[in-house]
């Protein structure tokens, strides 16, 4: 027989169970309880209830941005497939109200950081490719003199792995024809 350490408390007269869906209407409840009730509402009722609570927040709350953030978070967890515009429309919020929420600011900061990281990575790759291309072109000019315009442009269009292969292969070339032949076979 197992012993539940909370069984005595659960069965005592000291504990009173309160079911959020049985508290009454959102309009009659204090704002704090109405917000908790919002978490258990069916999806069909949530847009109207969230809009009502948002309006109440604007008039009743001392710090409405905190409550608006909470409402937004509850709605976003319930309706994960909605876009930002759809959530704004559902709640009757302005873009400015949403931008003041911590949730929005954190998501924006993460997206910005991801964008910066991707941009940095892409910039480094492009810089590396341009540098390798310039070295290959310089080596070809030194070995063969002035390069035909089409050849230089064709080399500039090569992806990084082919530039690297060309850099190795050009050590064995003795004529420009060999460079052209290599390009024909490699691209």
pLDDT in tens, 35-67: 888 888 888 888 888 888 888 888 887 777 778
* Pairwise CA distance, residues 37 & 161, whole Å: 59
pLDDT above 90 coverage of the chain, percent: 23
The phi, psi pair for 20, rounded to 5°, reads: -60, -35
Q: Identify the pLDDT of residue 35.
A: 87
> What is the pLDDT averaged over residues 98-103?
72
| Contact indicator for 104, 75 with CB cutoff of 8 Å | no
Interval 110-122: pLDDT, tens: 878 877 788 778 8
What are the tens digits of pLDDT across the range 19-32?
887 888 888 888 88
Q: Which of 143, 170, 171 is nearest to 155 (CA)?
A: 170
Angle at CA of residue 35, ends 32 and 38, nearest 5°: 155
Q: 2 pLDDT band (50/70/90 cuts)? A: low
From the list 90, 20, 88, the residue with the least C-alpha distance to 48 is 90
**91's tokens:** 């709640």
pLDDT (mean) for 131-143: 92
Q: Beta strands of the chain (E only): which ranges?
A: none
Judged against a pLDDT cut of 60, whether residue 1 lies above it is answered with: no
Residue pair 91/55 in contact by the 8 Å Cβ criterion: no
In this predicted structure, which of 74-83, 97-106, 133-142 has the lowest mean pLDDT? Answer: 97-106
Q: Which residue has the higher pLDDT, 73 or 146?
A: 146
Residue 84 scores a pLDDT above 90: no
Phi then psi dihedrals of residue 65, to 5 deg:
-65, -30
Q: To 5 degrees, how large is the angle CA 64–CA 68–CA 71?
A: 140
């Amino acid at each position: 027989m197992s012993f539940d350490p909370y069984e005595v408390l659960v069965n005592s007269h000291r504990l009173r169970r309160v079911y959020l869906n049985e508290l009454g209407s959102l309009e009659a409840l204090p704002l704090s309880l109405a917000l908790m009730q919002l978490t258990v509402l069916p999806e069909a009722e949530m847009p109207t209830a969230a809009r009502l609570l948002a309006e109440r927040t604007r008039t009743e709350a001392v710090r409405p941005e905190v409550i608006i953030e909470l409402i937004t978070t509850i709605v976003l967890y319930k309706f994960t497939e909605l876009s930002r515009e759809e959530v704004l429309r559902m709640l009757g919020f302005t873009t400015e109200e949403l931008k003041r929420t911590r949730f929005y600011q954190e998501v924006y900061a993460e997206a910005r950081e991801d964008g910066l990281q991707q941009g940095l990575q892409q910039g480094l790759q492009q810089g590396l490719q341009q540098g390798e291309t310039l070295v290959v072109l310089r080596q070809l000019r030194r070995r063969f003199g002035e390069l035909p315009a089409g050849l230089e442009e064709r080399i500039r269009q090569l992806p990084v792995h082919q530039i690297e292969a060309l850099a190795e292969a050009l050590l064995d070339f003795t004529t420009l024809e060999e460079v052209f032949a290599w390009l024909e076979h490699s691209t």
